[in-house]
Amino acid sequence: MAFDPQQVALSHHNLANHLRGAAGDIGQIWAHFLAAAVVTYQMGGDISSYVQLGARPRTTFAEIASIVSEVDGVHLADLVDRLPKRAPDGQAALDEILKLVG
């Protein structure tokens, strides 16, 4: 299977929606939404769908990467390191996203 960051972002977004619908853990829900947003942002994509999500918990990119890595085969920090650098790193991308949507 070819490396497809857009598919990775969509998968995180879909998992977050599934967890939200199943009244899952709010930390996991936000981690997957924000993982999708960081990948989308770094790829130069539209993050407007994340604007409507409401209040986000205070978190760091390292915390998000740790939470989403609980899913077998997910290595968010490694993925973000391989993406184009719209922001210099995952934390900078997250900071920018939170400024844009906050």
Q: Report the C-alpha gap between 40 and 22 in whole angstroms.
A: 24
Residues 6+ apart with CB under 8 A from 29: 16, 19, 20
- Token pair 């009244």 is at which residue? 23
31, 34, 54, 69 from 76: Cα distances, Å: 11, 11, 23, 7
pLDDT reading at 1 higher than 50: no
pLDDT of residue 12: 94
CB 91 within 8 Å of CB 59: no
Q: What is the mean pLDDT of residues 75-95?
A: 95
pLDDT reading at 89 higher than 70: yes
